[in-house]
Amino acid sequence: QVQLVESGGGLVQPGGSLRLSCVASGTISSRSIFSRYPMAWYRQAPGKQRELVAVISNGGIRNYTDSVKGRCTISRDNAKNTVYLQMNSLKPEDTAVYYCNTNFRMVAYWGQGTQVTVSS
């Protein structure tokens, strides 16, 4: 019912920037439904548990995990059914697969993930 497709990952040097995008399609993209649901970005580094990076509510309220505060900005474009994660001042410890997530009608949906590698 819901498909999430991430893009924008890649290899970047420490201190660099990336902007991740996640486009939602399926039932959630109908009749402004997308705008009613919080959207989130998670990440999972090798050998570690998946962790919440940032979340944006249907009203635009943003929350971040402490390790990315001041460096990352989550935003959404409801007309495009898209959520973004702007990441600046990237560090090697930001290296992970980044996943888009939403809970739609009590079901958690995930994208396939996009790899972010921060390395010199």
**Which pLDDT belongs to residue 29?**
81
The pLDDT confidence band at residue 48, using thresholds 50, 70 and 90, is very high
Q: In this predicted structure, which of 23-37, 55-69, 73-87 has the lowest mean pLDDT?
A: 23-37
| pLDDT for the residue numbered 98 | 98
Q: DSSP letters along the chain, please?
A: -EEEEEE--EEE-TT--EEEEEEEEEGGGSTT-GGGS-EEEEEE-TTS--EEEEEE-TT--EEE-GGGTTTEEEEEEGGGTEEEEEE-S--GGG-EEEEEEEEETTEEEE---EEEEE--
